[in-house]
A and B are shown apart, each in its own frame.
Chain A
């Protein structure tokens, strides 16, 4: 676990009042940076990660030894060009890649927090990450960018700090979690808490972990990230290393084997309690309610230039929910561009090699960077 000790961490001394009412201070915020901050300090992009992401956006993740989660979009010469921009990304609080989370020790009880960790929100995540700007001496970011839960953080960020970014790019996200979104998250949480190894969240003190439950949570969620057409084209009814059905409950179909694999690799890198906390934060996200039913009010103080992107086959955060953000921005005359990208890859499109998306993102950023 030496690699985990080498993770860059900012210890946030300033007290942070969480939405649940609790106050936290002296807590770690793990982060990573790519590229160089220029002299004018006007080339910084803060990327917000999605539910199961982390601060290791691109290159090889030192902990998992796999490619960073946004390697398609971020790197030298890519859409978010690290030759040009200084990229910052922090692990969200509640997470399990070094930032303050349920796997940490409670200084009062000297025990691992588990479910004693306070419930955190998207607002709390963003308010923790604003400290990075002060630490790096960045007065104003060039952009805040994120997909899915990262997009929710983008929206919350610019609402909380209207002058802290020149451009704003929410991708495949929503201004409030729908009943369907909450339902899928609840399914995942139930799978975890039903695992007898979960032990009311105190599994860290034992040698077992609720990996079965967490794997099921991941499998269910993974289906929601893909599209029916994408799944059908990739797997169809193809059988897994066999010529015929075996009349049993082994993975006969390739799709079963694929999902099992996705579940098994996920448990190696993710903490079950973090999964509970972060999905809860997403479910609680409702920027419309925060502004008494008027989403436009969330953005009324910002002059930032927005670019909203959605994907045709994303049924988890469908185009209409992204368009609602555009409509709210247009209603107050904000500077907003919008495009729906054609892709069969479902919600995951933003993480994958979707050339139209990668091109649009690059063009928007590079052109906007030249503007005064």
Chain B
């Protein structure tokens, strides 16, 4: 199976046998991967009925729900990790969602498709139309992604909201590397995905 390199990085951030919530778990591919790799006790929440059905068919424990409304049912610190894989940009209020993640979990793993990636910049520069890429496959008129940002945006946003980024990783095709203050501009240009471990 062609496992996303993103999943490998997420898996490396997680301790074995931990209690995890995957917010926007989709078809449960990451959940299955983490069960196999890290023997985690994992739950999922997903907005699409079809995808919830697919998860149930795999024996995964998933509830149908909208993360923006349904995270409040989980008690404080009821998970060790909560994962938000390429979903943040679809929320009306990303700040509120991250605060919720940090309330219900000790650590949050947030991954974002990087709108600062050079191919995206080039697409807009040369073609003059809204970028459509592999990680961002929707057209401007039907995209669920209403709050796209760059790696740099997210780092600045985290600073201003006092979200403690304990690990910041950039993914350039399949190559992960750490992001720091010095290389931020380079990583923001060269990477298609940002992966952040936020501690509460």
* Bound-complex Cα distance A327 to B63 (A): 10
* Bound-complex Cα distance A323 to B72 (A): 13
Given A331-B75, A341-B49, residue A336 in contact with residue B63 (CB < 8 A):
yes
Check if A20 is an interface residue, CB within 8 A of chain B.
no
* Bound-complex Cα distance A333 to B73 (A): 10
Check if B62 is an interface residue, CB within 8 A of chain A.
yes
Check if B64 is an interface residue, CB within 8 A of chain A.
yes
Nearest CB of chain A from residue B104's CB, rounded to whole Å: 10
A370 neighbours in B (Cβ, 8 Å): 59
A359 neighbours in B (Cβ, 8 Å): 53, 57
Check if B78 is an interface residue, CB within 8 A of chain A.
yes
Check if A367 is an interface residue, CB within 8 A of chain B.
yes
Contact (Cβ within 8 A) B61 A336: yes
Check if A105 is an interface residue, CB within 8 A of chain B.
no
Query: Among the listed B49, B59, B73, B78, which residue makes an inter-chain contact with A339, where contact means beta carbons less than 8 Å apart?
Result: B49
Q: How many residues of B contact A (CB 8 A)?
A: 20
Nearest CB of chain B from residue A47's CB, rounded to whole Å: 20
* Bound-complex Cα distance A350 to B160 (A): 50
Contact (Cβ within 8 A) A342 B63: no
B140 neighbours in A (Cβ, 8 Å): none
Query: Among the listed B57, B61, B73, which residue makes an inter-chain contact with A363, where contact means beta carbons less than 8 Å apart?
Result: B57
* Bound-complex Cα distance A272 to B53 (A): 40
User: Which partner residue on chain B sits nearest A342 by CB separation?
Assistant: B49
Return the CB mask of A347-372 against B: 1 if under 8 Å, else 0.
Answer: 00000000010011001100110110
* Bound-complex Cα distance A297 to B61 (A): 21
Check if B58 is an interface residue, CB within 8 A of chain A.
yes
Scan residues 291-334 of chain A and give those whose CB is less than 8 A from a CB of chain B.
305, 307, 323, 326-327, 330-331, 333
Which 3 residue pairs across A and B have the least CB separation, nearest first?
A367-B59, A338-B63, A363-B57
| 22 CB-based A-B contacts, threshold 8 Å | A305-B61, A307-B56, A326-B63, A331-B74, A335-B61, A336-B63, A337-B62, A338-B62, A338-B65, A339-B49, A339-B56, A339-B63, A340-B64, A356-B49, A356-B53, A359-B53, A360-B53, A363-B53, A367-B56, A367-B59, A368-B59, A371-B59
